Chain A
């Protein structure tokens, strides 16, 4: 098709949002992986909803927090989540601007207005913050309702004999179809809203004057950087820095050890405090001095007692020796003081 394309709001919304998501995704993923390697993101949902919400779409950055706070759905935790949110903003603005400029030029044949990326990002983010929580609630409600209705139907007596595998398959297909249809309808409405927002910007844009080949050349040049060498150097440098940081923060051993191989828990040594160690040493020395002094005093007293007792014993011995004519058994062969 080489004439000006007439696009419905839905097609226009999809035509910009879908490629913008994929354009921004690799850059956001590099940061997400880095934050995960640093252990700053802990995801709780197994379905990857968090990734879809945070990484896939410029419309979901605010909606993520609205749903977390308003509906109370807990995606995960960690300082990496708000960091990823902050990183996502400039990346999404760039991706939306790039994609929107190509769509304006190639499909709408309009001159892309200045600051198209910022203007669309603000509109998309606000629309997403309002619409996605609504979609979340409606979709959740419809799914729950469908599940309960299907369950009550399958609990009927005539269907109770259904084998387990058949029942599970049937139940999932039934409520899954309802849920999917509601999701498709809500997505259609959401994308149409985004298309209307783009149409608002397109209404004020000037028609592009070039012939088709000229337009395609301009469109093609939008898709490649003006200075390819600079771009390649910047990407290589960023890749090298990210790789180094990645290997620096990557845990050497597994963060999830098996029961059989849990590492031995070694109590960490208390930090060395020189002041405390000195005062402790001084106290030990003082205690030792006191003990030595006490021992010396005791020894001196013992010797005093002994010499006193020795004199008395010597007096007694002399008298007994004189009376029996043999030495005392108690003192024979023993040193003094023992």
Chain B
């Protein structure tokens, strides 16, 4: 039999047929090329993993949050009991809740790391101003997640942290009173507060975050990665590669590391509730979650005592700081991105980070002093 003259034609497999069918209608190949073949100037780096890691943490928070919602009852009568039920009676419930709790902490840490990386690398400068602004809004949403989620277990810690937080919010001029009344839904935190915090936590904030994160990614892909802040043109050109596979691999390793860190923390310090929430703090010294501790300690200073002082420390200073961050790409128009050639930016970052660290540790020492 003569086989040399017959051309060999391979039939496409079922998977290939399905892929071609979808590709014809959706344009999968174009989408894949756009998503994965993005050139990364200067090559892949570990410093770029924070954005992907944040997306991963958010997805994990959504998954664990949905699983927790199967058992959680958002009423003042049952919130505490249902949380205790999750911890003590639901199989692996303690781990899910602890993961969700530490996941929120990881999200705040990664947001700080991501913002610091963008700031230090000068990646907020033209043409990436809008990415920076949307990122700031996302930062606010992450903080909102932490604040609203903290009340849901309805123990003393949750109740009093929320009380303190809402009181601080009350000091905002014009809007403060309305916002505090809207969130509390009454004179003291109760059923209405819990319902509102729950709805904001599981409906409003996730929707806002998904929308803004999509916009953030779109703007990022439009402007392209900023690349390293130093290095010769030849070096950057020689090291440039595509988003897939090297940067994706780094992102996956980053995600795995964060996942393992959260799991380890869940084992190390699993969540334990205090007594059920009551309007009497008893021996408990109210304080917010750790990432708001620096602000809480700042307000303990004599200079921020009194009505005006509290407004200055709780609203004016953080407000000015956030406004400065928002205006940063428009104030700092120098194209120089090398952080070692931007001494004001470097010193400002060190001062802010050192202040947050000092006030947070001081709040922890103060807690021991009070006890």
Contacts and interface: CB of A to CB of B under 8 A. Distances in A.
Contacts, number: 107
Contacts of A220: 43, 239, 241
Most chain A beta-carbon contacts within 10 A, residue among B84, B92, B95, B260:
B260
**Contact count band on A:** 35 or more
A135 B302 CA distance: 38
A254 B89 CA distance: 9
A260 interface: yes
28 contacts: A2-B232, A2-B234, A2-B238, A26-B256, A29-B257, A29-B264, A32-B264, A36-B267, A51-B264, A165-B300, A165-B366, A166-B301, A166-B302, A168-B365, A213-B238, A216-B239, A224-B246, A250-B95, A251-B94, A253-B94, A254-B94, A255-B270, A256-B270, A256-B272, A257-B87, A258-B84, A258-B272, A258-B273
B246 A29 contact: no
A251 B246 CA distance: 37
Contacts of B164: none
Interface in A89-108: none
Interface in B238-264: 238-239, 241, 245-246, 253, 256-257, 260-261, 263-264
Interface in B267-304: 267-268, 270, 272-273, 297, 300-302
A30 interface: yes
A255 B267 CA distance: 9
A2 B235 contact: yes
B257 A212 contact: no
A99 to B, nearest CB: 12
Interface in B80-136: 84, 87-89, 91-95
Contacts of A32: 260, 264
A251 B302 CA distance: 48
B359 interface: yes
A254 B264 contact: no
B80 to A, nearest CB: 9
Contacts of B94: 251, 253-256
Given A25-B257, A165-B297, A33 B264 contact: yes
A26 B87 contact: no
Interface string A152-184: 000000000001111011001100100000000
A226 interface: no
B358 A172 contact: yes
Given A163-B302, A254-B88, A254-B94, A172 B270 contact: no
A332 interface: no
A168 B300 CA distance: 11
Given A163-B302, A172-B365, A212 B234 contact: yes
B369 interface: yes
Main SS of the interface on chain A?
helix
B264 A36 contact: yes
Interface in B314-371: 358-359, 361-362, 365-366, 369
Main SS of the interface on chain B?
helix
Contacts of A258: 84, 87-88, 272-273
Given A29-B257, A165-B300, A254-B270, A1 B365 contact: no
A132 B87 CA distance: 41
A212 B92 contact: no
Contacts of B70: none
B272 A164 contact: no
Contacts of A22: 46
B92 A252 contact: yes
Given A163-B302, A216-B239, A254-B88, A33 B362 contact: no
Interface in A21-53: 22, 25-26, 29-30, 32-33, 36-37, 43, 51
Most chain B beta-carbon contacts within 10 A, residue among A43, A163, A216, A258:
A258
A250 B366 CA distance: 36
A308 interface: no
A212 B43 CA distance: 15
Given A26-B253, A168-B366, A256-B94, 12 more contacts: A2-B232, A2-B234, A29-B264, A33-B260, A164-B366, A164-B369, A168-B362, A172-B362, A223-B246, A252-B92, A257-B87, A261-B87
A150 to B, nearest CB: 13
Interface in A218-257: 220, 223-224, 228, 250-257
A176 B358 contact: yes
Contact of A43 (B91, B231, B268): B268
Contacts of A2: 232, 234-235, 238
B246 A250 contact: no
A144 B213 CA distance: 47
A252 B302 CA distance: 49
A254 B362 contact: no
Nearest to B230: A1
A180 to B, nearest CB: 9
A244 B44 CA distance: 32
Interface string A171-202: 01100100000000000000000000000000
A6 to B, nearest CB: 16
A9 B257 CA distance: 30
B154 to A, nearest CB: 13
A253 B88 contact: yes
B84 A261 contact: yes
